[in-house]
Structure 1
Amino acid sequence: MKSIFRGLAALALAATGFLASAQEAQMDLPRVALNAGLHRIDAQVAATPEQRMIGLMFRKDMPQLEGMLFVFEQPTVQCFWMKNTLLPLTAAFVDDDGTIVNLVDMKPQTTDSHCSKKPVRFVLEMNQGWFAKKGIKAGAKLGGPPFKG
């Protein structure tokens, strides 16, 4: 019985540690250079479950040429929400070859679900309006090391 309580106490401590780290913006993720035509993107890469869960939460700003690339193990319909995210963002749901499947504008601090129109492994979040200002729409291709083709 004591080992069960110890296990629960360890789990509670781990959860508390995660919640504490989740209250801060993650700024030190690996980066990858991407491009959308002539436009360069400096993307932080969120590849682990914890990195993807925190994403861009708690960020107060993000430079215009930066974004966050979420990388998943398998293609599936990806759905994102904006709870604890302070910035208005646009999510680009991206196929393995870099083709943008669909773009969705997302309002800060909401729990509305925004989903890909088909299974994808990549989601690129940029400041809201970045894609529109560059004339980048669904069907456009992103380039860079993560994308095949």
Structure 2
Amino acid sequence: MSDAAAKAFELFQADVGNDEGTGEWFTVTQDQIDQFADVTHDHQFIHVDPEAAKATPFGTTIAHGFLTLSMLSHLSSGTSSARQDPARFAGFAMAINYGFNKVRFVAPVKVGSRIRARAVTSNVELKGSSIEVTRSFTVEIEGEDKPALVAEWISRLVYA
């Protein structure tokens, strides 16, 4: 392991248990929901038919759970300025999305809702020349008591 990777590991490890804060609010639109439905071929009426969705308990269309999950890439970008510390990325080659330990879709995201992510670094492990970082995310819905989503997301940071 390089000195840069060892230093980065120490810096990431010091984050375990720390709240990284929240990102910016993001509005989920019907156009985004429709585009996601087209890409995934999931055109269930609850997502794409506003008239039919009025008769559901939600009273409107809702985003696909997987759309909310896929938005983590964007929503997580503003959760921690500390992650931008150049020492963490000296000798850094690439990041790999390694997967999820847990994903739960807790509450629906109604069209027009604003969502944002809150993150906590929950685990850091050395894997050869890589650092595996697990972050626990909660996607909040503005004005709602329950979150849209909770997930444990694993990323691998590969160092040269």
Bin the TM-score by the shorter chain.
Answer: under 0.3
The higher relative CO (CA closer than 8 Å, separation ≥ 6) is in 2
Which structure shows the higher helix fraction? 2
TM-score by structure 1 length? 0.21
TM-score by structure 2 length? 0.21
